[in-house]
Chain A
Amino acid sequence: MDFDPILLSRLQFAFTISFHILFPTLTIGLASYLAVLEGLWLKTGRGEFKHHYHFWAKIFALSFGMGVVSGIVLSYEFGTNFSHFSEAAGNVVGPLMTYEVLTAFFMEAGFLGVMLFGWQRVGPKLHFFSTLMVALGTMASAFWILSANSWMHTPQGAELIDGVFYPVSWWEIVFNPSFPYRLAHMLLASMLTTAFFVAAVSAWYLLRDRERGFAKLSLKMAVLTAALAAPVQILVGDMHGLNVLEHQPMKVAAMEGRWETMEGAPLLLFAIPDQEAQTNHFEVGIPKMASLILKHELDAEVLGLKEVAPEDQPRMSIVFWSFRVMVGIGTLMLLLSWLAVWKLRGGRLYQSRWLLTALSWSAPAGFIATLAGWYVAEVGRQPWLVNGLYRTAEGASNLPAADILWSLISFVVVYSIIFAAFLYYLLLVIRRGPEVHDDEEPVLRPEGPAHPAFMPVEDD
């Protein structure tokens, strides 16, 4: 069989990075949540916060481990599968990744041990400091990797000479035009994903009439966070979209399913894009809405994908549908979280079975929306690796297709195994609930079952 080694390398990178991003999305949010919980515990002295900390820390540890092992793979995959890109852009992205290691990875890893295993070995203040450093580390990591990734979307501050990028201004490289929007968008995505994950677990307990005191507090914190973050996320997403329109208009054309440049363009709700025929089938749209949203004018001209030659176009169907999945989930998140907050008054939320059921099903929502958003961004950048300057096909290593096929299959098998195990243990931790600890704790986890004084006091 004949396989295209470039396509295989792209598939492998897409698979491994999609797998990886699920875990940081949760751990960025959970680390901050843990820091808030521990801060509240230290401030108020109320044991229930520490009790919550212990439970969510277990889930954090599981996810963090998955993020670490799948992240290391990525830091080497640039070289193994995209060696020409590494040579061409190492001058620019290498230093950004070095800063990520120095300011984020070491900090997370260095303080994680104390955070998880150090309760009996350090005082509460130093422990809180460790949690804060881990939370800060997760955000520093997002900062640098999104800076590097954004530079590939909106490159500036570097010159391309003989196929190699040479930095001119590091300030311009780090703070490239799309970076602030994309960083804010990703951090908010993490908060929302985590909030809905926490809300789902809590709602599940309430539906089963378990851990009521525990679940009510975490559900309340989660839906309040989500209700605040959801509208901000929609606003940031819109600003980001306008930034994309300015720098990557073809990505926006693909997101909106528009082939022809037109005035008074409709907002398509449904369409089946056909790349070969360069047209859509079964279009359903709202007239003039796209022009209004993008240019704030009913008859404004917006560009279509046919502005560029077919070989310079991204795959419209993937971008178009991923965008709709993301926006759809985002809208549902807004509605669900506001409804939940509305019902918080008088505690009606804790009795509303249908709303709790909806919340309990929303655990994967943030992960799916985040993945869909990344597909919009990354597939929408194609066929460029560095937008407008360097093609994806130029960046791949010259490897035998059989080698990459072998490694791709291995990744699919290995990641499936560990993902199944992760889900199994995640559900196990959730099913056991906050009162029960692991069958047998490692020797360095001296923190036994929750101290009676730390049990939630109030209940129904």
Chain B
Amino acid sequence: MFELTYLWAAVIALGVVVYVILDGFDLGIGIIFFFQPRIRHRDVMMSSIAPMWDGNETWMILGGAGLLAAFPKAYALLLSTLYIPILLMLLALVFRGVAFEFRFKTNRHRLAWGVAFSVGSTIAAFCQGAILGTVVHGIPVVDGEYVGGSFGWLTPFSVFTGLAVMTGYVMLGATWLIMKTVGDLQAWSYRVAKRVLPLWLLMIAGVSVWTALSAEPIAERWFSLPNFYFLSQVPMITTAIAGFTWWNLYHSNQRAPFYLTIGLFVLSFAGLIISIWPYIVPRVLTFEQAASAPSSQLFSFIGVAIFLPFVIGYTIISYRVFRGKVDQADAYH
């Protein structure tokens, strides 16, 4: 059932990209949390995501469970290979998550839980980027078993992708705050976004070039003819959207920067898929090789087809319930 395998590849891709976007702005806000000097503004930053962070994080569980259901070989290989960064990320997410409940309970420990939130978000974001970098770069596997050692994931490339993902998340977080806040905090968020955007674009370019140079097949995918004519659209559209984001930031538009940043993420992700396709674990397992039994893919896909539209529906409704600016009080302080 090759069609189902590809449908499942699309579901996993959707899960990952939605997770990266939704939890991306949560984690981004965590990363810049202590760069904002005023406690009152920090409260607003955290409150702006308090009703959604849990739903956002659920997309990561969908990715994990979906991977186990549809591509168990990839799930087993990737997770045991990336043991240290994955567990580090999970532990960081534990601190990030409990901070939402604990931080507002007392004034006495407010700083400590702020640190838990911020450091947790930062480590989780870095680990996600490093995991991505390790996977793209290729995992050394002999006879189905990983041979790279405990710290094989920690390479210059994965550190660079870790930093790149962190920077991207900051961009998402800052543009989310532009959309959700007013006054001082909004002005500060504009400044953050303006400073970070050029840095992030350089990093996207850096990761792209480094990826293309890292493996012959990837370079060939992009630069051989006629692929080049079609695929060169990706960096060109990315450049155009980046310029448009810049323009919107300088014209103080409130919503466009966030949506355009999402666009940049989607395009970067598309570029990534183009680089690694048809592999789910580059140069080790293709989607077809990692696929679960047809009956497992079918049974779980029926669940996706029935329930995912509802999930998307009530997620949108929930975001609409909390639409608008977070703290009107901010305006008359």
Q: Which of B26-34, B276-284, B292-300 contacts A (4 or more CB under 8 A)?
A: B292-300
Q: Does A223 contact B (CB under 8 A)?
A: no
Contact between chains at A99 and B90 (CB < 8 Å): no
Q: A433: which B residues are within 8 A, CB to CB?
A: none
With both beta carbons as reference points, the residue of chain A lying nearest to B100 in the complex is identified as A65
Q: Does A317 contact B (CB under 8 A)?
A: no
**Distance of A75 Cα from B64 Cα, bound (Å):** 7
Q: B218: which A residues are within 8 A, CB to CB?
A: none
**Min CB distance, A57 to chain B, in Å?**
12
Q: B299: which A residues are within 8 A, CB to CB?
A: 95, 167, 170
Q: Which of B44, B54, B86, B292 contacts A112 (CB 8 A)?
A: B54
- Chain B residues 62-103 with CB under 8 Å of chain A are 62, 64-70, 72-73, 75-80, 82-84, 86-87, 90-91, 93-95, 97-98, 100-102
Q: Which of B51, B65, B70, B308 contacts A117 (CB 8 A)?
A: B51
- Chain B residues 33-78 with CB under 8 Å of chain A are 43-44, 46-48, 50-52, 54-55, 57-58, 60-62, 64-70, 72-73, 75-78
Q: Which of B154-162, B239-247, B264-272, B318-326 contacts A (4 or more CB under 8 A)?
A: B318-326
Q: Does A100 contact B (CB under 8 A)?
A: yes
Q: B47: which A residues are within 8 A, CB to CB?
A: 442-444
- Most A C-beta atoms less than 10 A away, residue of B57, B300, B322: B300
**Distance of A441 Cα from B110 Cα, bound (Å):** 12
Q: Which of B83, B101, B145, B303 contacts A80 (CB 8 A)?
A: B83
Q: Does A160 contact B (CB under 8 A)?
A: no
Contact between chains at A69 and B98 (CB < 8 Å): yes
Contact between chains at B69 and A75 (CB < 8 Å): no
Q: Which of A188-196, A286-294, A395-403 contacts B (4 or more CB under 8 A)?
A: A395-403
Contact between chains at A167 and B76 (CB < 8 Å): no
Q: Does B223 contact A (CB under 8 A)?
A: no
With both beta carbons as reference points, the residue of chain A lying nearest to B306 in the complex is identified as A102
Q: B292: which A residues are within 8 A, CB to CB?
A: 90-91, 94
Contact between chains at A79 and B307 (CB < 8 Å): no
Q: Which of A31-39, A197-205, A406-414 contacts B (4 or more CB under 8 A)?
A: A406-414
With both beta carbons as reference points, the residue of chain A lying nearest to B105 in the complex is identified as A425
Q: A443: which B residues are within 8 A, CB to CB?
A: 43-44, 47, 326-327, 329
Q: Does B314 contact A (CB under 8 A)?
A: yes
Contact between chains at B58 and A94 (CB < 8 Å): no
**Min CB distance, A40 to chain B, in Å?**
24
Q: Which of B65, B107, B327 contacts A439 (CB 8 A)?
A: B107
Q: Does B311 contact A (CB under 8 A)?
A: yes
Known: A79-B64, A80-B79, A166-B295. A95 touches B94 (CB 8 A): no
> At the interface, is chain A mostly helix, strand, loop or mixed?
helix
**Distance of A438 Cα from B97 Cα, bound (Å):** 18
Contact between chains at B54 and A68 (CB < 8 Å): yes
- Chain A residues 88-147 with CB under 8 Å of chain B are 90-95, 97-103, 105-114, 116-118, 121-122
Q: Which of B48, B65, B326 contacts A75 (CB 8 A)?
A: B65
Q: Does A73 contact B (CB under 8 A)?
A: yes
Interface size class of A (residues with CB under 8 A): 35 or more
Contact between chains at B105 and A439 (CB < 8 Å): yes
Q: A83: which B residues are within 8 A, CB to CB?
A: 75-77, 79-80
Known: A94-B68, A94-B300. A410 touches B322 (CB 8 A): no
Q: Does A1 contact B (CB under 8 A)?
A: no
With both beta carbons as reference points, the residue of chain B lying nearest to A118 in the complex is identified as B321
Q: Does A62 contact B (CB under 8 A)?
A: yes
Q: A91: which B residues are within 8 A, CB to CB?
A: 72, 292-293, 295-296
> At the interface, is chain B mostly helix, strand, loop or mixed?
helix
**Min CB distance, B89 to chain A, in Å?**
9
Known: A69-B97, A421-B98, A428-B105. A76 touches B64 (CB 8 A): yes
- Chain B residues 155-208 with CB under 8 Å of chain A are none
**Distance of A259 Cα from B48 Cα, bound (Å):** 61
Q: Does A453 contact B (CB under 8 A)?
A: no
Contact between chains at A411 and B91 (CB < 8 Å): yes
Contact between chains at A102 and B104 (CB < 8 Å): no
- Chain A residues 380-423 with CB under 8 Å of chain B are 397-400, 402-403, 406-407, 410-411, 414, 418, 421-422
Contact between chains at B68 and A78 (CB < 8 Å): yes
Contact between chains at B65 and A86 (CB < 8 Å): no
**Distance of A76 Cα from B81 Cα, bound (Å):** 12
Contact between chains at A72 and B60 (CB < 8 Å): yes
Contact between chains at B90 and A102 (CB < 8 Å): no
With both beta carbons as reference points, the residue of chain B lying nearest to A442 in the complex is identified as B47
Q: A442: which B residues are within 8 A, CB to CB?
A: 43, 46-47, 50, 104
Q: A90: which B residues are within 8 A, CB to CB?
A: 68-69, 72-73, 75-76, 292, 296
Contact between chains at B69 and A425 (CB < 8 Å): no
Q: Does A440 contact B (CB under 8 A)?
A: yes
Q: Does B315 contact A (CB under 8 A)?
A: yes
Question: 10 closest pairs, A vs B, by CB?
Answer: A90-B72, A79-B79, A113-B51, A94-B69, A94-B68, A83-B80, A95-B300, A83-B76, A69-B97, A109-B55
Not counting A72-B60, A421-B109, a sample of 16 additional A-B residue pairs whose C-beta atoms are within 8 angstroms of each other reads: A61-B101, A87-B72, A90-B296, A101-B61, A106-B314, A110-B311, A118-B51, A121-B322, A166-B295, A167-B293, A170-B295, A398-B145, A411-B91, A425-B106, A439-B107, A443-B327
Residues of B that sit less than 8 Å from A by CB: 43-44, 46-48, 50-52, 54-55, 57-58, 60-62, 64-70, 72-73, 75-80, 82-84, 86-87, 90-91, 93-95, 97-98, 100-102, 104-107, 109, 145, 150, 292-293, 295-296, 299-300, 303-304, 307-308, 311, 314-315, 318, 321-322, 326-327, 329
6 contacts between A and B (CB under 8 A): A72-B93, A75-B61, A76-B86, A94-B70, A109-B55, A407-B84
Residues of A that sit less than 8 Å from B by CB: 61-62, 65-66, 68-73, 75-76, 78-81, 83-84, 86-87, 90-95, 97-103, 105-114, 116-118, 121-122, 166-168, 170, 397-400, 402-403, 406-407, 410-411, 414, 418, 421-422, 425, 428-429, 438-445
